[in-house]
Amino acid sequence: MEDRSEFLKGHLSEIDSPDSPFKLLKNWIEGAQKMEVDEYSAMVLSTNSSAGSPSSRIVYLRDFHQEGLVFYTNYNSKKGREIAHDNRVAVNFFWKELEQQIRIEGIANKVSDQISNKYFDDRPRGSQIGAWASYQSEQLSSRSELEGRVREFEEKFADSAVPRPPHWGGYVIFPDYYEFWQGRKGRLHDRMVYQKDADGWTKIRLSP
Ligand SMILES: Cc1cc2nc3c(=O)[nH]c(=O)nc-3n(C[C@H](O)[C@H](O)[C@H](O)COP(=O)(O)O)c2cc1C
């Protein structure tokens, strides 16, 4: 399991790091798009249960702007229930091709119904039916139970557009902490942290 590969693809200096973490996030995401990093928008999302036990899963980043990072899911899922209880979340991207990791922490809030509707309306019909048919994170007796529900909703909406289920929509994560990690030779990696405080963002370098 030991991996002794060296990280040699880039560096991150104080000069390369703008005062706004959003600018750096945008630069890095655009860089990942340009370099065609496989699944660059897949991010690990961690939430907290009421028992204080963290849980993680991958979701897709669907939009990002000055205000935060947007993903879509089932509000009744495990993650949805955990966010309802405690909306502090953490996010992690790892892009092997660029030897980059981004860690983000912040607060998740539901996006407006209009934003969720617009996103839902643009999804393929199969995904729209799936959002009705899957009671995400609930136990299934069998695969055929799920497939039966898919047929049920296909019939129900056979002659109409599929409306967004009320339990399905987006969250926007408002970050208050970012860490940009660039792999370097000899494990002497660059780690630039942006921490939000009353005066704005404070930027510091962390030891690798
Ligand atoms: C590459 C990838 C992308 C995924 N994107 C999403 C997504 O955008 N939204 C979502 O709800 N689940 C997505 N999933 C499924 C989740 O990882 C997870 O299985 C599901 O949301 C249930 O999680 P929960 O039970 O913790 O709520 C994705 C999984 C993978 C592997």
Q: All domains of the chain, ordered by start, with CATH?
A: 21-118+166-205 (2.30.110.10)
Which residue, 116, 103, 113, is CA-closest to 25? 103
**Exposed, middle or buried by CB within 10 Å (0-12, 13-18, 19+), for 38?**
exposed
* pLDDT band with cut points at 50, 70 and 90 for residue 9: confident
Percent of all residues in the chain with a pLDDT value above 90, rounded to a whole number:
89
Q: How far is the CA of 52 from the centre of ligand 1 (A)?
A: 21
Residue 90: both structure tokens together? 């953490």
Here the tokens at position 33 are 């798009």
Q: Is the pLDDT of residue 129 over 90?
A: yes
Structure tokens at 65: 């702007």
* Distance from C-alpha of 170 to C-alpha of 181, rounded to nearest angstrom: 27
Q: Which residue has the least CA distance to atom 12 on ligand 1?
A: 59
The one-letter amino acid at 173? I
For tokens 């009320």, the residue is: 166
The catalytic residue among 103, 184, 187, 205 is 187
Residue 38's pLDDT band, with cuts at 50, 70 and 90, is very high
Q: What distance, in Å, lies between the first and last C-alpha atoms of the chain? A: 21
pLDDT at 5 over 90: no
Place of tokens 């860490």: 179
Instruction: Take residue 9 and report the two structure tokens written for it.
Output: 């693809």
Atom of ligand 1 nearest to the CA of 55: 26
The percent of residues in the chain predicted with pLDDT above 70, rounded, is 100
Kindly tell me if the per-residue pLDDT of 40 is higher than 80: yes
Is there a catalytic annotation at residue 143?
no
For residue 150, the model assigns a pLDDT of: 98
- 96: pLDDT strictly greater than 80: yes
Write down the pLDDT at residue 159: 95
Q: What is the DSSP letter of 144?
A: H
- Whether ligand 1 lies within 6 angstroms of the CB of 171 is answered as no
Cβ 188 under 6 angstroms from ligand 1: no
What DSSP designation does 188 have? -
